[in-house]
Structures are given as structure tokens and as C-alpha cells.
Structure 1
Amino acid sequence: MGSFSVWHWVVVLVIVLLVFGTKKLRNIGSDLGGAVKGFKDGMKGSQEEKAAEQIPAQNQDGKTVDVQAKDVNKS
């Protein structure tokens, strides 16, 4: 069967425009763009949460609290 030529794609595009109209295609495009933006914002949010977990604990004065872990299973 092979791949389609440019003219085949032009004919398909014209048929799609006739069937759906430009308004519906514009709405589909904006919905798709909004979904991509939401996905990017979600990924950015998860990266910010990971960065916030790495920030040291602070007391109410805003000063950093140093915490030293002790190994209770010393041999």
C-alpha cells in the first residue's frame, strides 16, 4: 500500500474540515492545548514537592533546626 503522498493528506484535511467545521476543530485544539498545559503544570508541581521535601526543617523563628540521627543498632 505504501505511504500517502502530500495530495492524499490535503484531500483528507479538506474532508475533515467539511465534516467537523473549523469551530469544532478549534475547540479540539484548545482542549488539547489545555490538557498539555495541565500535564506540564502537574509535572512541575511534583518536582516542587520533591524540592520542598529536601528543604531542612525550620522552627517557628524561621531558623534551621539541626537534627542528628543516632544508630540504635550499634554492635
Structure 2
Amino acid sequence: MMAIGIWQLLILLLIAVLLFGSKRLRTLGADLGGAIGGFRKSLRDSESADVAKRHVE
């Protein structure tokens, strides 16, 4: 199995910048980060609700 090296990653990054532009990639990164943050927050909220529900019963 071949591992991806640093040069392959740099080439992929260059192609992505050429296709989408740096501003759009920055926006996509911020949107992805926000989505991951929201997902983590919802997991914490659901876990805390489960714990609170167990204490009530």
C-alpha cells in the first residue's frame, strides 16, 4: 500500500486553489469548521440531557 507524501498533498492543494480560488476554499473551510463545531455541541447537549434524564428517574 502506498502512502501519500508531502509532494502529492502540495500538488492536490495547488489544483484545489486553481479550481476554486483561495477565497472560496477559505469559506468552505470556515463552513466545515462551523458544521463540526455544531455537531460536537449537539453531541454534548444530547449527552447532558441523557444524564439529566437518568437522574430524574
Map 1:1-75 → 2, pairs under 5 A: 2-56=2-56
Root-mean-square deviation (Å):
2.2
Separation of aligned partners in 1, 2:38 and 2:46: 12
Normalising by structure 2, what TM-score? 0.75
Structure 1 consecutive aligned stretches of length 4 or more whose deviation exceeds 2 Å? 2-9, 54-57
Structure 1 residue 48, shift from structure 2 partner: 1.2
Gaps of 5+ in 1: 58-75
Gaps of 5+ in 2: none
Q: Read off the aligned partner of 1:47 and give its amino acid letter.
A: E
Total equivalences in the alignment: 57
Higher helix proportion (structure 1 or 2): 2
Normalising by structure 1, what TM-score? 0.60
Aligned residues with identical type, % of pairs: 34
Q: Read off the aligned partner of 1:32 and give its amino acid letter.
A: L
Q: Which has the higher contact order (CA 8 A, sep 6+)?
A: 2
